[in-house]
């Protein structure tokens, strides 16, 4: 065991390094030279190596990166990380303001924040100690990247208070780190990263944390996912609290009393964005009062109380040198413009989608034209228009072929559609794209089976349909380019793990026309098994909420196909799950619930359930949860230290429950 003076010295070093690190990485106000910091760090490393019992989970030495991982563990977000709706102009913002005021009245203020162009992450703290960091993923399930996030020195390993907290933020790569990284890559004759966002995302998804540690990432925290019992009434108050805990927030946020103040803020940072030491791709506007946020609620994809203003797309001129054709998983033929490489919104662009033949004709796009391109929403390159005045006469008009570029089958245009399709079910491109869709994250989520690996498998005649994926063996995979022993073992395990997915993942992966992730979830919950779906009539599908005539017809037609029946049988033989195994709420339970049709208010401190958990369960059982007490309130659930809401409920004669009664009713 270490002697007392050694223990005291290690503790002193830890505290000094934490303080100096906070001053340097969070406050940007270093109080000691780098050389002194490095000297103290080396001393602490030596002490902890000599006396391992002195090493604590929040020691500054834990940021250097541990042993590499074999794979990323999946993490379920208890509170979903939703995306934001977009605004592209002043009218979109004024419409947002109008909707907000219709929902909560005119007494509303906003908070404006810079939209950092990085990777959204979630940080969890228990008793003030950093315990888990995860990617956003699909919003419901992310990946555990705690080992990499610990290397970001602006993330405190221990907060200034012993609180339980889950907070969201954006990990990013500052310009100086990005330039240094690409200089090193070019010196090593490696391909540089296209932009800081890709570099940040690539760094955080390294299995070896030592690589992430060398990339010098940073973070800004912008939202509280779960604040526990801390009493916060405003988003702006939450940002100030995060800062007091030692968490790094972006200092450029501003509280705005009117939508005109919001527009002024946007104008300021539209002109100043290039002067910032990091990339931003817009402005996020949030309703400040949390009570107003709760009243406004959410759509299926995004909160109604927040919106992201996207900067106008940068436009540049380049030459269109060719038009290539690709065949999608539904057989649609998509033309793509091949361009002279040009920098647009931070990345080099060489290709842009032309969508369909009608768009090419409408814009009179010819091979050899000089064209204006932009990135829609700063993401997807598109051709804006042709510079006809610059034509030389050597440009070549383009027309779509009559035959599929992959299988030479005759192309057809279905009535009511603008797209040309290859309807040959054996078309190699059609099959390949369907396989890529099947293994994608929102479908069967087979990690390691990306587009390149699927293409290799297909080209080597190792797979012809999705069922063949489950018959792959070690000797099949080890022969592929860039597939070593560890990669093959990980891929086979990922394929095996995917067999246990719930039915909705399989349904989306099968690529049934019109069936997206939401419809797949609804179908899985309603019919519970693949056999029930195959035996259902078109009328059965029409009885399901959110399923209309076109989708019902497409689903019914799909499951009448003998080839589909054969495919399902093969998947069953391989042990792929064919049943819904997510949460099930019986309609009879909803009808018999004490909350069915009731308006409920939660107040005070709940001891056994978190408020979001209680709210979600009440909603599942047919109740409505609001933030304020009124004559329309049916039930007030009063936890410890309930205040004015309890007084008002008593005045109005509203039914008042304690937490035990609520839990008993929810679990009944």
- Identify the pLDDT of residue 615: 79
Q: Is 8 exposed, middle or buried (0-12, 13-18, 19+ CB in 10 A)?
A: exposed
Mean local confidence (pLDDT), 257-264: 95
- Cα–Cα distance for residue pair 266/259, rounded to 1 Å: 11
50 pLDDT exceeds 90? no
- Cα–Cα distance for residue pair 293/291, rounded to 1 Å: 5
Confidence of residue 412 (pLDDT cuts 50, 70, 90): confident
- Identify the pLDDT of residue 376: 62
- Identify the pLDDT of residue 536: 92
Least confident of 168-177, 265-274, 607-616: 607-616
- Identify the pLDDT of residue 379: 62
Confidence of residue 24 (pLDDT cuts 50, 70, 90): low
444 pLDDT exceeds 70? yes
- Identify the pLDDT of residue 70: 63
Nearest Cα residue to 221 out of 258, 247, 188? 247
Mean local confidence (pLDDT), 224-242: 88
Which domains are delineated in the chain? 4-63 (1.10.287.610), 86-310 (3.30.470.30), 315-401 (2.40.50.140), 428-573 (1.10.150.20), 587-667 (3.40.50.10190)
List Cβ neighbours of 667 (8 Å cut-off, separation of 6 or more).
Answer: none
Tell me the sheet residues that pair with 124: 132, 166
The CA-based dihedral angle spanning residues 65, 66, 72, 73, taken in that order and rounded to the nearest 10 degrees? -120
Mean local confidence (pLDDT), 48-65: 75
For 85-135, how does the pLDDT look when each residue is reduced to its tens digit (9 = 90+)? 889 899 999 999 999 999 999 999 999 999 998 999 999 999 999 999 999
Confidence of residue 371 (pLDDT cuts 50, 70, 90): very high
- Identify the pLDDT of residue 639: 83
Confidence of residue 482 (pLDDT cuts 50, 70, 90): confident
For 148-160, how does the pLDDT look when each residue is reduced to its tens digit (9 = 90+)? 999 998 999 999 9
1 pLDDT exceeds 60? no
377 pLDDT exceeds 60? no
What is the percent of the chain with per-residue pLDDT over 90, rounded to a whole number?
37
List Cβ neighbours of 565 (8 Å cut-off, separation of 6 or more).
Answer: 534, 559
Task: Please name the residue that has the structure tokens 């009713």.
Answer: 665
- Identify the pLDDT of residue 571: 94
Mean local confidence (pLDDT), 396-413: 88
66 pLDDT exceeds 60? no
- Cα–Cα distance for residue pair 348/318, rounded to 1 Å: 12
- Cα–Cα distance for residue pair 510/506, rounded to 1 Å: 6
Higher pLDDT, 339 or 626: 339
- Identify the pLDDT of residue 496: 94
Confidence of residue 492 (pLDDT cuts 50, 70, 90): very high
What length does the chain have? 668
Top mean-pLDDT range of 201-215, 253-267, 588-602: 253-267
DSSP state of 15: H
SS3 523: helix
pTM for the full model? 0.53
- Identify the pLDDT of residue 641: 72
378 pLDDT exceeds 60? no
326 pLDDT exceeds 60? yes
Q: Mean pLDDT across the chain, nearest whole number? A: 86
For 510-549, how does the pLDDT look when each residue is reduced to its tens digit (9 = 90+)? 988 888 887 888 899 889 999 999 999 999 999 887 788 8
List Cβ neighbours of 368 (8 Å cut-off, separation of 6 or more).
Answer: 319, 320, 321, 392, 394, 395, 396
Nearest Cα residue to 143 out of 116, 166, 120, 118? 120
- Identify the pLDDT of residue 330: 78
Nearest Cα residue to 151 out of 61, 261, 241? 61
Least confident of 53-62, 334-343, 391-400, 528-537: 53-62
- Cα–Cα distance for residue pair 248/155, rounded to 1 Å: 7
- Identify the pLDDT of residue 393: 93
What is the percent of the chain with per-residue pLDDT over 70, rounded to a whole number?
93
- Identify the pLDDT of residue 588: 67
300 pLDDT exceeds 80? no
- Cα–Cα distance for residue pair 479/409, rounded to 1 Å: 32
318 pLDDT exceeds 80? yes
Provide the pairing of β-strand 635-638 with 599-603: parallel
Higher pLDDT, 8 or 457: 457
Catalytic residues: 115
Say how many Å lie between the first and final Cα of the chain, rounded. 54
């Amino acid at each position: 065991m270490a002697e007392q003076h050694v223990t005291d010295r290690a503790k002193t070093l830890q505290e000094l390094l934490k303080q100096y690190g906070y001053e340097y990485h969070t406050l940007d106000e270093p109080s000691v030279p780098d050389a002194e910091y490095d000297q103290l760090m080396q001393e602490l490393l030596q002490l902890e190596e000599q006396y391992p019992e002195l090493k604590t989970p929040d020691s500054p030495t834990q940021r250097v990166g541990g042993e590499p991982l074999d794979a990323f563990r999946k993490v379920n977000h208890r509170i979903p990380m939703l995306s934001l709706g977009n605004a592209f102009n002043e009218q979109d913002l004024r419409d947002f303001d109008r909707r907000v005021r219709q929902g909560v009245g005119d007494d509303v203020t906003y908070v404006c924040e810079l939209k950092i162009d990085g990777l959204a992450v979630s940080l969890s703290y228990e008793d003030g100690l950093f315990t888990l960091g995860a990617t956003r993923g699909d919003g419901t399930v992310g990946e555990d990247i705690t080992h990499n996030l610990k290397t970001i020195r602006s993330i405190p390993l221990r907060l200034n208070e012993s609180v339980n907290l889950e907070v969201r933020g954006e990990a990013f790569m500052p310009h100086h780190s990005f330039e240094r990284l690409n200089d090193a890559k070019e010196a090593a004759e490696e391909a540089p990263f296209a932009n800081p966002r890709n570099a940040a995302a690539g760094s955080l998804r390294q299995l070896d944390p030592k690589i992430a540690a060398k990339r010098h990432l940073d973070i800004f925290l912008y939202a509280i996912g779960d604040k526990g019992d801390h009493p916060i009434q405003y988003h702006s108050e939450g940002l100030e609290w995060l800062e007091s805990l030692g968490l790094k927030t972006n200092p450029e946020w501003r509280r705005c009393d009117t939508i005109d103040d919001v527009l002024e803020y946007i104008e300021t940072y539209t002109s100043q964005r290039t002067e910032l030491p990091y990339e931003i791709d817009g402005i996020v506007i949030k309703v400040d009062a949390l009570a107003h946020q709760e009243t406004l609620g959410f759509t299926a994809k995004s909160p109604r109380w927040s919106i992201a203003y996207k900067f106008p797309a940068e436009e540049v001129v380049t030459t269109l040198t060719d038009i290539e054709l690709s065949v999608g998983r539904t057989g649609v033929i998509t033309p793509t413009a091949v361009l002279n490489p040009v920098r647009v919104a931070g990345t080099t662009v060489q290709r842009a989608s032309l969508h369909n033949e009608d768009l090419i004709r409408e814009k009179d796009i010819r091979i050899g034209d000089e064209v204006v391109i932009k990135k829609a929403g700063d993401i997807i390159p598109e051709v804006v228009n042709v510079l006809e005045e610059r034509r030389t006469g050597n440009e070549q008009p383009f027309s779509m072929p009559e035959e599929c570029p992959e299988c030479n089958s005759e192309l057809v245009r279905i009535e009511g559609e603008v797209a040309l399709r290859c309807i040959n079910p054996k078309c190699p491109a059609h099959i390949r794209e369907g396989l890529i869709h099947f293994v994608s994250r929102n479908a069967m989520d087979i990690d390691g089976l990306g587009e390149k690996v699927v293409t290799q498998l297909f080209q080597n005649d190792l797979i012809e349909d999705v069922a063949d994926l489950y018959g792959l063996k070690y000797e099949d995979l080890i022969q592929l380019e860039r597939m070593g022993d560890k990669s093959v073992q990980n891929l086979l395990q990922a394929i095996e793990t995917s067999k246990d997915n719930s039915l909705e993942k399989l349904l989306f992966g099968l690529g049934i026309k019109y069936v997206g992730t939401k419809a797949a979830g609804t179908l899985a919950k309603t019919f519970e098994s693949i056999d029930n779906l195959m035996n259902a009539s078109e009328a059965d599908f029409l009885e399901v909420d959110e399923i209309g005539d076109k989708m019902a017809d497409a689903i019914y037609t799909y499951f009448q196909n003998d080839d589909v029946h054969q495919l399902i049988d093969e998947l069953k033989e391989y042990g792929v799950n064919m049943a819904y195994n997510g949460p099930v709420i019986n309609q009879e339970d909803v009808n018999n619930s004490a909350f069915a049709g009731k308006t409920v208010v939660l107040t005070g401190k709940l001891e056994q359930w978190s408020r979001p958990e209680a709210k979600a369960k009440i909603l599942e059982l047919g109740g409505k949860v609001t933030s304020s007490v009124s004559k329309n309130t049916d039930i007030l659930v009063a936890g410890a230290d309930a205040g004015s809401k309890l007084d008002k409920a008593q005045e109005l004669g509203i039914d008042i429950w304690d937490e035990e009664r609520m839990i008993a009713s929810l679990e009944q």
